[in-house]
Amino acid sequence: MSVSDYKVALVTGASSGVGGACVRALRNAGVEVVALARREDRLEKLAKETGCETLVMDLTDTDLIYEKLAGRQFDILINNAGLGRDHEGFFSSTASEIDEVIDLNVGASIHVVHAVASGMVDRGYGHVVQIGSITGLYPLGMPGYSATKGAIHSFSQNLRLEFKGTRVRQTEICPGRIQTEFFDNAFKTLEQKEQFLSGFTPLVPENIAEAVMYALDTPWSVNVSMIELTPTEQIPGGVSVQKAREI
């Protein structure tokens, strides 16, 4: 399988950023796309630009996921929807903010795969692409958000075992910092967001879409299991040491 063999893709979190870039890349490759997000006005604008189909829904409504998606045939799933809330510090997050991140980043993502990929297994072809994060691979702070992306990393690795013998492929994309609206919700002030993305050249959504298209366009005999991509000036890992405060 390559991109030219696929007919229809579902992209979640499609109204901006990485999701929007993936919609444009897929449409440029001749793939029909269902763009799913909560913001109807953004989706309408994207539809006028690309000719994609739109689906307005809240993925934290589990029943709605199965009602709207389970009966449809998708050859590609770009599982991108997500948000972050504890970039300012885990203990500054409220209980409702923690639940919100877990419900969307983990619960909704898993249910979308369950609803959509079971049809791929039955048909014997398809490709699931999970948009993860390097925060799921390295200790970079943001414990709540990182935990959700760590869950997606484990889910992705184990999903490959579930797809054994089905001809369905699975890819996890793990980006570093991206210049995107994602951080509008991750930080409470514009100053904090600008500081987080300053002093280096961050990735842009098109960089992630290019990685997605690479994974989709390899021959069927090749499964790109994971792609880690970061800004050249962002190096994950390392050791952090700080003397404890006096009591």
Residues that are catalytic:
145
With the C-alpha atoms ordered 150, 59, 228, 189, is the resulting torsion angle positive or negative?
negative
Residues 6+ apart with CB under 8 A from 56: 36, 37, 38, 39, 40, 43
> In the sheet that 76-79 helps form, which strands lie side by side, from edge to edge?
53-56, 32-37, 8-12, 76-79, 126-131, 168-175, 226-229
In this structure, what token pair is assigned to residue 79? 């599982």
Give yes or no for a contact between 186 and 83, defined as CB atoms under 8 angstroms apart. Answer: yes
Amino acid at 124: G
Burial readout 199-224 (b: 16 or more C-beta within 10 A, e: otherwise): eeebbbbebbbebbbebbbbeeeeeb
- Whole-angstrom distance, CA of residue 6 vs CA of residue 213: 12
